[in-house]
Each structure stands twice: as C-alpha cells, then as structure tokens.
Amino acid sequence: MEIKNVTKLARGYLFYARNLAAGKVTNTVLDFLAFMDFRLLIILSSWHPSHDARIKLLRKRGVNVSEKAWVDQGVWIEVTTPQAVVIEDYAKLGYGVVIYAHDASFNSAVDMPMRVKTTRIGYNSGIGTRSVILPGVNIGKHVGVMPGSVVTKDVPDGMVVGGNPAVEVGRVEDFGLLWQADLEVHPEIYYDHPNPTRAPSTPYDHLVTWRKAGIKVRHFTELRTGTPFDYILDAKTASKEKV
C-alpha cells in the first residue's frame, strides 16, 4: 500500500479512536450531571449525544419508551406528565418531534382543570421531523407521519398522514410499492443500510422483492461523512482500484 494511503488510514482511524475515547468521557460527565440536576435530566433526555443514554434518561423521567425505539436528538417529550406517553417497540421519532399528553390551555386562562390523556406511538411507526403529536392521540402500528405534521386525532394502522391538521394521504403499503418502483429505475441513488432499529417483520414483507430481483444498490459505508472518516474510504477505494 502506498504511503499516501497509509497516511489516510492513519488519519481516519486516529480520528475514530480520539472520538471514541472522548465520547466515553463526555457520556460519563453528562450522566453525572443528569443525576445531580433534574433540570439537566430533562434537557439531556432530548440532547444527549448518545442515543442509548437518551432512552435511559427518558425512562428515568417516567416516559414509557421501549428500549427498541429510536428517538433522535431534539425530541421534546411531555414534561408535566411524562408517564402518560407510551412509545412502543421499533417506533422512530425524527429530529424535533414534540409529544404532549396534557392540555392546560383553559387551566392557564380560567379556573378549569388540566386534562391528561395517554398519548401512544405504535409499533414500528415513524414520526417525521418537527411533527407535533397532541394529547390523547393514538398512533397505530406501522404508521407514517410526514415531517412538519400536527396530529390531532388517532391514526389507524398502516396509514400515512400529513399536514396541519394531519389528514390521511395514503397507505404505507402503497408508498412502499412506489419506493420500490423508483428503486428499480434509479438504483444508483439507493444505499443498502442494515438499520438496527428496523422491526424484524412487518405485514409488508411479502412486497419487498428488490433483493430477489437482483437489483444492485450501493452500500451505506460508501456515503461521505464530511469528517476524517472519509480518509479511510478514500484509501480503501484506491486499493480496490489497483486490484
């Protein structure tokens, strides 16, 4: 291997090792701060750099969130009555999602009681970036909520909703078939990604035929990161080209 490629690999793996070590130290410090100050616990349950830590801190706050769920950074989950929020297995919450379970709108204006309803995000459902789920809403299983939606009422299993207020725009099954059709036409823009947050099975598995059809897509490790990790990719690519 050429010196140039060795240098690239060294820079990439040094960056990786440095960040791995710094991450462990950072996580330890942040976990301690969350333990000491409940205000920081609330903030860190949204912004902790470690996903596993965010799940742990949300559960510590009382949120009924599955350890198999995915909760991105910036997700703001009910502070007043967190125990009234349920997030089931393999549910996924995109960046900036807001979930409420209590309504104090009239309570803050006149002498009216605050209302609390259980808000549920169902199995293998995905909530798009910056969506808002209002108190008492039940998101069914295998549901898709489009980014920026405001969900004011229950969503049946297998439906896609979007807008403000959110309305049904189609079935997950139909969107999946459209995705696969586009994959057949433009395989060069798709990357195979073994997502660990994916449900082990769904009602739509029989519709996923692209692998059997032999459609070739790129691997997610080819994606550029904009960090020194790319040096590792550069070096490996150069080595393959010479073989």
Length of the chain: 243
- The predicted pLDDT at position 163 comes to 97
**Mean of the per-residue pLDDT values of the chain:** 93
Q: Report which secondary-structure segment, H or E, holds 12.
A: helix 3-36
**Model confidence at 18: pLDDT above 70:** yes
Distance set, CA 98 to CA 45, 55, 214, 231, 239 (Å): 13, 15, 40, 37, 46
pLDDT recorded at residue 159: 98
pLDDT tens readout for residues 98-118:
999 999 989 888 999 999 999
Q: Which domains does the chain have, with CATH numbers?
A: 37-212 (2.160.10.10)
Residue 1 has pLDDT above 60, yes or no: no
What are 197-237's pLDDT values in tens digits?
Answer: 899 999 999 999 999 999 999 999 888 888 888 888 888 77
CB contact at 8 A, 49 and 26: yes
For residue 43, CA distances in Å to 57, 61, 83, 153 come to 10, 11, 17, 28
